[in-house]
Every structure is written in structure tokens, then in C-alpha cells.
């Protein structure tokens, strides 16, 4: 299949490589071209713009950092929408806002272009290992094309519904739930630590019992050992998703006290000077620090 | 082995039966004798007091509702401590406060009696199926006796440490984490519901992805369908554990904003008239109700 | 003095009338012309656009509902900026965002137009009685003109600084503090009510003691008696100001847990169907309702 | 009038002196006798126990630090209740729990002794200047004796009702409301500080406008200047009252999210090492510190 791929961050690069390895003819584009080099070596051709990446493609993937980037690569001057051929499909894997996804869907519908939103759960190593959990939404006829392709990229594809933006909402809900797990582990490790129980031992006990899902296993040891660098998913990106969740919830009229708490944690961390060099699990630092246990800020 | 068993609530009865089925000689006691009948039929002998249940036993288990009951069956007039023979072991599976466990441990130490604290994660059906996750703490020589026995009652036994009360703290931390999952699912289902995504579908998508731990699988469908009766673990018991967690954290000097939030949820529910006939997952009702989605209170 | 006045809501109309009564030559504009009629009878001339209201004026006041209205009457096609004469002064009394005030200030500076931001504390009856508390910020030379005029409209004028947007920030901080008083009174009345102390008696006791500031005296009786209609300051406007405060704080990197709590209260109320016909002090209903005391929602 | 006075902390000593200055015959007792010396010089006689202070007295005042002290001086071995003559009146000005006041009232009723609870708002300087705000509750016949006396000690006496413990609840509610003002000022000063507005200027502007009640005027400058030493009302005493409020609210079934937030602030401060040498207004440090503005902890 002829595939365009736009956005070669650590997630996008891993996914694009899997597409190449699966034998597809892949044209990649990234704003900073250096990141495209390894993929050229792996067999991709390099496009000079999103429009060129989409030219002649059966499917175009996008995996970019935020709403602005998504709008630019899609509807900008040399954007995908300028060259996408009738019948071709745009699959957006980016974590973008519900509003932006709705806007995208409406514009494509009007232009008779095909759009599936398919954001993913998983860190770069999971992307490389085809272990992503993918949430997909779009019209049935578009999902028919997208799902078989997505199934080669992850360990499961959940069909959310016909409205592409609903997949984005589910993705935001999932990230919200992850952020609460991080905060929970911070508070739990703070209690353990002050009671003389090694937080790492606590995490082992809990993840060997009923808290045996990946998020507890991944974030538990990071938080217990206060290892927040290098970032798997950076603090500012986590903060962005928290904002998108709160904005979506506000538009729907849903109070989310847990998301508000995490929102304040992000602001606290940024005000202490933490940023893109930290993983978002550093949210747990606040609870640890408030309990007098943090090595990273609060008087250390 | 000759075993005493005190406390035949739905958890205790299931565990006692497993001990009988394993061939042990079990003497049971329950405050209201009717609950002992089915166990007599299964082969247990009925004791007329905790003291009598402990008489001659190698190991005595207790599984009672709260600190007061624990103190009464252990140190009351006809309590276990009045007859427990030297060298015999008391295993407490109850969820009691850290302070009560510390007090118990100190008194037993002074009296040269053996004590292991072994609270459990799991609902009555898990107890019956020997699928409990058990946290055990106590002196090495006592754990040597307790652990092989506990391993026949659950799917895993985690060794917390030498101080029995630390197992109780880990149990309270675990229940705290469960209560946050419940609140999280309430908020997540509220967002989904108002966005036109069936909350049950949301739960399926998430538990088929990375939120695949038992708490999400157990509580997710209950919350999505707002099925809070009958109780697997009752609202007042959940509220009690929340109080114990906050008390332990306060004694340690650890702020737990998540536990404070859940604390307020419990008070709200009780003030709307919900009680022992509801499962503690009804905590999720607050988020659903605040979003205008609850079938159970707030104007319906 | 020749004065333009744009925005004749209940606050604007009261202020405009005071300017007329003070002998100024006032040209008024309101989007819906009916509200201008009573002022015509009081001596004002009616302008057909903001631009016409500003034409030839020495000072133009604006008192509009939100950022969009402020931008429209100022920079729209027939906006004030199109006719404001060099040397004339624009005094904005609206509660608008810090960002909009900064944008306005920058554009006027570029166009060599004079701008003072002068938002007010006080309800319509206070505006009529010239009892407003006014916060003013702008360049010294502009304040020299504005302050004497403002002093005739309120009981005090506080000079915030040279940057007009700082007056808007102080206004948002003040409204934030009022919203917390409302929430506090809701929680306090809930405790009193359930303890058998008449909430109205509680309010009398507290406001006769050290809680003797206007907000406690004004909102206390409303909340104690659960009288949230008609609105003095409507629920949606209060919610808007809460959003503006949170946005300003986020831009500055300041977590505001109290504002986040109030934010969730607003969403809860809106989801129960409360709106513009309610005063923003209805925020207190949430605490009363959670305690089982509300007459207005939650099962009544 | 012959008066006993038990408890000569900074509040009690100031009140006792005012009673001496008013010409009463005052017998004082304090656990550490040194604090009684200045009062002896002012004309008091020194009692060797609470019982002796109450011996022959028409009225006995108590002003002690907490529930335990209150119980000891009243019902202990040499407590007031052992010597209080029939017809004599015990006026408790201490901030004690609702439960302790209820217990006291019940025991006195049974013993036909007279009890009025009369806790106060105001710091030591207000006590000395007879500027206290006093909340009084008790049987009418007892209030008839108490109120004229109390009126000489403060600027107002509010009658709460017949149940003495209700005065204690109102006092706890008042302190709860003060604690929220402190938190509010912390958040407000954090916003101002990061926006380049001097927090002290902010406080001046607000207290010159509608936030002109004593708490804003007293705590505002302390918080704006981060002056939390020496204590007027110490951090641990404030924390104790927060606990009493939460306990009373929990018993009544009332969630108090604001009190829960302040509860967590106290724990955070104690975990950073702050204690009795700090004023409770240090609660505001948390908001300032989270915003990166505190001089006192968090890495500075």
C-alpha cells in the first residue's frame, strides 16, 4: 500500500518504521528533516511537505504534537488536504482536542475526504514493539480500510464509534485516568515512605496483587525511585492533555475534581522549574514533596 | 492442623470453609451463631466464644468488621488472648487500623504470643475461589507458619515486613487506591455519558487496553451501569477504611488530597440516605450526579 | 464634559445616569436600544453606534458583558477606536480578561489613544448609590483625567498601577475571593443547619462579630435563606469570571485550588439546569445539597 | 463578684487582668505558676489547683488549650467540679470540641451545676483591649449571669442558643472561615506576585474596598509580607481547630471540601518542619510556595 506518514517524533518514527518493515511504500515528512534520515535508510522516501507525503497515497498517517501542528499539516498551505486524492484515507494518531477533531471531520466531510481518528495508548517502546492500544473512530467504510492496517501496529484496536472525535475523547479520558494513577502512586508512596516501608517494595506488593495493569507497573517503579528523567512522555505534553480534558469536560458540563487536582500539580511543577526534560510522572513529586520526602524540590 | 476461626461474615465464612475443605480441624465462632450453621454442616465444630475457638488451636484466624470487634474478640473477657497456647499463632485478616495492629502486636510481644497480620484484597467470590491477594507481616518465625497456610487461601502472599501493622497499612493504601479508581471511573463515565458515548462501551475499550487490572474490570461495569446493589463491600465499610487511611496519614504527616476528596464523597452519599445496602462503588454516583447523569439521587 | 457611554446593562445604566445627573453631556449606546430610553428621558442623547457615542467625546466609558463585546464595541467596524479623538480617554469598567485588556492597551498605545481600565466592585444598587469600589490602572497622565471622574461614581478609587490590565487582574482576584466567601458560607450554613442552628442566626452572629465586611453581609442572608433569585450578578457571569481567573492564573503559572473547586461547583449547577435566572451565590447550593439540605436540587 | 480563673495563656491572662481591673475578687490558677505572678501583682490571689480557684467563687472562667486540659481542670482530681458551689456558674471560653462541650454540659446538668460556653474571636491584643467577639450559649438563667460579665470583656456578645456546645460549634465554624480567608489570601497574593503586583499593594486595595473586615486587615499584610513569626495563634492550635471542625462536620454528615484543603495544608507545613513558633496564617505559604514565590521553604 502507498502510505504517507507525517510527524516523526519518537512515537511517529517507531510506527512509520513498522509500516516500512511490513512492506508498505512509505513517504515520510517531518518538520525537522534530520529525524527522517533513519527512515530513509530503512527504505522510506522523504517528502518535502505534508502535501507531498500525501500525494498519490492510499492512506496518510499523522502523528504530531498538538492541535496547531495538526491543523498546519492538514489544512496549511502545503497541507495534506491540498493533495489527498479522492478515496484516500487520513488516519490521525495524534492526541488532539475534541474540538479540533470535530472541525477536521466536518471539513473532510464537506470535501468528501475520508478521516479516521486513531489515537494510541503506549510509550515509544510499545510503539516499536507493536504493543500499542489503539482507539479508532470513523465511518464504517473508512474503518474497514483503517482497522486492518492499525491492527499491524498495536496489540488491540478498539472501535469507539462513527464520530472520529469520540476516539480523541476516549484517548483524553485514558490519559486523565493515567494522570490520576500517577497522583495516586505519589500519595501512596508518600504514606509508605514515612511509615518506613520502602516505596519500591510497596509497588512490588501492589502490582503483584490486584494493581497489575501496565500503568501501575510502568509508573510505580519510576515514582517509588523518583526517576523522572529522561521523559517517556514529557511533562508539558501531559499538561497539555490535562488542559484538553478539562476543556472538553467544561464544554460538556462535567466537573472533574480529579483532573482539577492534577491541573494544579502541573502548575506547581512548572513553577518549580520542571519542564520538557521531565516525564509527566513527576506529577507524583508534589505529593512526595508535600510529605517532606522529595529529593527534587522543596528545600532539597 | 487445629485451627480456630473467629468472624464468619461473607469473607470469613468463605475462608473458613476453604480451611475445612483442606482437611484442617476447624473450630469456628461468630457473634450471631446462625452464620456458623453452614460451617458445622461442612465439618467445623462450633465454639461458644473466641476463647473457646482458640483453645488448643495451633493457629487462630480472625476476620472481623472493625477495630472494636477486633479488640473484643482478642482482648475481651472471653477473648482469644485468654486461652491462646504458647507457640500458637494468631493470624488477623481483618482490615483494622494501624494503631490497633500496633497495640495488638505490642501486647502479644509482651505476653510472648505470636501474631501475624494478613489482610486481604478480594471480594467474597474471590475468597471462595482462593483468589485472594494476601499481604502478610510479622516476625520471620511466625511467617514461617503463616505463609504456607495463607498460600492455600489466595493466589499470592506478599511479605510486607516484620512489623505486623505494616501489612495493615499496605491494605489501607490498597483500599485507598481502589477508592480513587472508583472516583476516576465515575468521572470518566460522566464525561463519556454526556458526550454520547455509552459508559459501558468506554469501560470495555479501556479494560481491553491498558486498564486491564481487576479493579477496573470489576468496578467499571458496575459504575457504567450504576448498579450499586447488592453490596460486595458495603459503603459504610469503605467509609470506615477511608477514615482509617486518613487517620494513619495524619499520624504520619502525609496530606492525601485524593483521600480527602473521597472522604467528602462518602459524606455526601450518606447525607443522601445511602448506606449499608449499597456497594462502596456508589462513590462514583457523586461525579455522575454532579454532571446531571445519576439515576439514583439529585432530583430523580 | 462630553462623555460617551457604551453598555447599558443594569450596572452601566446606573453609572451613566449618575454621569448625566452630575451635569455631563452624555451620549449613550446600547446594542438593544430599548434600554437607552430611560436615559434619553434623563437627558442623554442616543448614539446609533459605539463610534457615534465616541464622536467628539472627551471621555468614553464602556461597561459590557464580556471580552467579545468589549472587542466589538472598541475595535469593531463602528467601534470606538474608529472615531475617538486624539487626547480623548477610553475608560473600560467591564470585567474582561487580562489578555484582552493587554491587547487593548497595546493597540491604543500604538494608535496614541488613551486608555484606563477601571473595573468595579459592587452590585447595581451600589452603582446607583455611587457606592462602588473602583480599581483603576493606566498611565499617570490618563489617570489624572480618569480618577476625578471615577471618584464621583463610587466610594473609593484604588490606583493599581500603570498597566491597565493589572486593574482587571485585581478585579478578577476580588471576584475570586468573593466566590470563595460564597462557598465558605455554603459549607458553614450546611454545618449549622445539620446541627440545629438556624443558618440565618449563624450569619447574624458572624457578621456581628469579625466577619462584618459587605460580602458576608450581602451573601450570608441570601445563602442562609437559599434565596438565589432574582440575580444581582448572574450565575453565568460568575462562571465566566471564574474561567478568566483560572486562565490568568494558568498563564502566570499559579495553581489556585480554591478557584478550581468553585469552577467545579459552577459546572455542577449548570448541569442541574441552573442558569442566568440565578444569582452566582447559588454556588453555595452545592455544599448545602451535598449535606442533604438543599431545597433546590438533589432529590427535592 | 468572687471569680475563679483557670488558664493563663496569653488569652486567659489578658482576660483575667480585665476582670481584676473591673474590681472583681479574682483567684487564678495556671499549671505553670510563673504565668500567674504578674496577675498576683495586679491584685489576684493565686490558687494551687482548679478546685481551689473555684472554691467559694460565684463564677469560674476556664481558658485552656484543648479538650484534654479542659477535662482535667474541670473533672480531674482537683478539678473545678469538685468544689463548685451550688448556684455558681462555670464559663468556658476555651475552643474545645463540640463533643467535649456536650459531655461537660450533660455532667453539669446531672450535678445541677451551671455551665455557659463562651468561646471568643480575637487575638491576645484584642483580649487586652476588651475587643473580643464572644459567642455565648447556655440556659437562659445562666446566660442572665454570664452575659453582663462577658460584655465587660469584649465588644459584643452573641447569644447562640440554649445548648452550650452550639457556641463551640459556631466558634469552630468561625475559625474554619478564618482559615479559608488565609488560604484565599495566599492564593491571591501568589497571583498578584507573579503578575508583578506587589502583594502588599493588593491587600491595601482589597481591604480599602469591600474586603474591609478584620480578618483581611489582620492576615492580609502578614501574608503579603510572609511574616509568620511570632505566632498570634500558633500553627498547631490552628491545626487542632481544623481537626475539631472536620470531626464535628463528619459527625453531622457534612462534607467540607474547603476544610479538607486546609487540613492538607497544615500537614504539608508540619512535614516541612513548621510548628508552634509559626502563626497559623503560614497556611498561606503553601499557595505561595506552589507558585514558586515562598521565601520560607520549597528549595529556597
CB contact (8 A) between residue C259 and residue D187: yes
CB contact (8 A) between residue C188 and residue D177: yes
Cβ-Cβ pairs closer than 8 A, A with C, add up to 41
What average pLDDT does range A203-230 have in this prediction?
96
Instruction: Point out the residue among B271, B291, B300 whose CB comes nearest to the CB of C292.
Output: B271
CB contact (8 A) between residue C253 and residue A271: yes
What average pLDDT does range B74-86 have in this prediction?
95
The predicted structure's pLDDT at residue C300: 35
Q: Which residues of C touch B291 (CB under 8 A)?
A: 267-268, 271
CB contact (8 A) between residue C263 and residue A271: no
> How far D55 CA sits from the closest chain C CA (Å)?
34
Q: At residue B297, does pLDDT exceed 90? A: no
Q: At residue A295, does pLDDT exceed 70? A: no
Residue-wise pLDDT tens digits, C81-92: 999 999 899 999
Is there a catalytic annotation at residue A171?
yes
Instruction: Point out the residue among A253, A265, A267 whose CB comes nearest to the CB of C270.
Output: A253
d(CA C19, CA C34): 19
Specify whether the CB–CB gap between D128 and D18 falls below 8 A. Answer: yes
Q: What is each CA distance from C171 to B21, B151, C76, C134, in whole angstroms?
A: 72, 64, 25, 9
Say which of C2, C85, C107, C171 is annotated catalytic. C171
Specify whether the CB–CB gap between D168 and D101 falls below 8 A. Answer: yes
d(CA D84, CA D55): 6
The predicted structure's pLDDT at residue A294: 83
> How far C136 CA sits from the closest chain D CA (Å)?
10
The predicted structure's pLDDT at residue A299: 40
d(CA A176, CA A247): 12
Q: Which band of pLDDT confidence, cut at 50, 70 and 90, is reported for residue B295?
A: low
SS3 D29: strand
Q: Which residues of B touch D263 (CB under 8 A)?
A: 255, 260
Residues of chain C where predicted confidence (pLDDT) is lower than 50: 298-300
Q: Which residues of B touch D248 (CB under 8 A)?
A: none
CB contact (8 A) between residue B211 and residue A208: no
Return the residue in A245, A252, A260 with the most chain C beta carbons within 10 A, the one to mutate for interface testing.
A260
Q: Which residues of B touch C291 (CB under 8 A)?
A: 267-268, 271
Instruction: Point out the residue among D191, D208, D258 whose CB comes nearest to the CB of C187.
Output: D258
CB contact (8 A) between residue B271 and residue D260: no
Q: At residue D299, does pLDDT exceed 70? A: no
Q: Which residues of B touch A196 (CB under 8 A)?
A: 163, 166
Say which of D2, D144, D171, D240 is annotated catalytic. D171
Beta bridge partners of C5: C28, C61
Average pLDDT over all residues of chain A? 95
Q: At residue B298, does pLDDT exceed 70? A: no
CB contact (8 A) between residue D261 and residue B257: yes
The predicted structure's pLDDT at residue A229: 96
> How far B249 CA sits from the closest chain D CA (Å)?
9
> How far C211 CA sits from the closest chain A CA (Å)?
29
The predicted structure's pLDDT at residue C295: 62
SS3 D126: helix
Cβ-Cβ pairs closer than 8 A, B with D, add up to 41
Out of A295-299, C252-256, D83-87, least confident range: A295-299
Domains recognised in chain B with CATH numbers: 2-162 (3.40.50.720), 170-290 (1.10.1040.10)
The predicted structure's pLDDT at residue B296: 58
Residue of B nearest to D247 (CA): B243
Give the DSSP letter string of D204-255: HHHHHTT--SHHHHHHHHHHHTT---S-SSBHHHHHHHHHHHHHHHHHHT--
Residue-wise pLDDT tens digits, B27-38: 999 999 999 999
Residue of D nearest to B247 (CA): D243
Q: How much of chain B, in percent, has pLDDT values that exceed 70?
A: 98
> How far A255 CA sits from the closest chain D CA (Å)?
15
- Among residues D125, D127, D124, D117, the alpha carbon closest in space to that of D96 is found at D117
How close are the terminal C-alpha atoms of chain D, in Å? 56
**Exposure of C44 by Cβ count < 10 A (0-12 exposed, 13-18 middle, 19+ buried)?**
buried
Q: Which band of pLDDT confidence, cut at 50, 70 and 90, is reported for residue A297?
A: low
CB contact (8 A) between residue B264 and residue D257: yes
Neighbours of B (≥3 Cβ pairs closer than 8 A)? A, C, D
Based on C-alpha coordinates, what's the Rg of chain D?
20
Give the DSSP letter string of D158-182: EEEESSHHHHHHHHHHHHHHHHHHH
Specify whether the CB–CB gap between A89 and A116 falls below 8 A. Answer: yes
The predicted structure's pLDDT at residue B300: 35
The predicted structure's pLDDT at residue D294: 83
Q: Which band of pLDDT confidence, cut at 50, 70 and 90, is reported for residue B90?
A: very high
The predicted structure's pLDDT at residue D300: 35
Q: Return the beta strands (E) in C72-139 as ranges.
A: 89-92, 114-117, 120-121, 132-137
Question: The pTM is what?
Answer: 0.95
Beta bridge partners of A137: A117, A161
Task: Read off the C-alpha cell for C247.
Answer: 486562565
Q: Which residues of A touch B204 (CB under 8 A)?
A: 158
Amino acid at each position: 500500500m502507498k502510505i504517507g506518514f507525517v510527524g516523526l517524533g519518537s512515537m511517529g518514527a517507531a510506527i512509520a518504521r513498522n509500516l516500512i518493515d511490513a512492506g508498505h511504500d512509505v513517504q515520510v515528512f517531518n518538520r525537522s528533516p534530520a529525524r527522517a534520515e533513519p527512515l530513509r535508510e530503512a527504505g522510506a522516501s522523504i517528502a518535502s511537505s505534508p502535501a507531498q507525503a500525501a500525494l498519490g497515497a492510499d492512506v496518510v498517517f499523522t502523528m504530531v504534537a498538538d492541535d496547531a501542528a495538526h491543523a498546519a499539516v492538514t489544512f496549511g498551505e502545503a497541507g495534506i488536504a491540498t493533495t489527498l486524492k479522492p478515496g484516500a484515507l487520513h488516519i490521525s494518531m495524534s492526541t488532539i482536542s475534541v474540538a479540533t477533531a470535530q472541525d477536521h471531520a466536518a471539513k473532510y466531510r464537506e470535501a468528501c475526504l475520508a478521516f479516521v481518528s486513531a489515537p494510541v495508548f503506549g510509550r515509544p517502546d510499545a510503539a516499536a514493539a507493536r504493543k500499542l492500544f489503539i482507539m479508532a473512530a470513523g465511518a464504517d467504510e473508512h474503518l474497514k480500510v483503517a482497522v486492518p492496517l492499525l491492527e499491524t501496529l498495536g496489540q488491540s484496536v478498539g472501535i469507539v464509534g462513527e464520530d472520529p472525535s469520540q476516539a480523541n475523547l476516549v484517548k483524553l479520558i485514558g490519559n486523565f485516568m493515567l494522570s490520576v494513577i500517577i497522583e495516586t502512586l505519589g500519595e501512596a508512596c508518600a504514606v509508605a515512605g514515612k511509615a518506613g516501608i520502602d516505596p519500591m517494595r510497596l509497588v512490588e506488593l501492589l502490582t503483584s496483587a490486584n494493581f497489575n495493569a501496565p500503568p501501575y507497573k510502568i509508573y510505580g517503579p519510576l515514582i517509588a525511585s523518583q526517576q523522572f528523567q529522561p521523559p517517556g512522555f514529557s511533562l508539558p505534553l501531559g499538561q497539555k492533555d490535562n488542559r484538553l480534558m478539562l476543556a472538553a469536560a467544561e464544554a460538556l458540563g462535567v466537573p472533574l475534581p480529579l483532573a482539577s487536582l492534577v491541573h494544579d500539580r502541573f502548575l506547581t511543577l512548572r513553577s518549580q522549574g520542571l519542564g520538557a526534560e521531565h516525564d509527566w510522572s513527576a506529577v507524583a513529586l508534589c505529593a512526595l514533596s508535600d510529605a517532606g520526602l522529595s529529593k527534587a524540590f522543596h528545600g532539597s
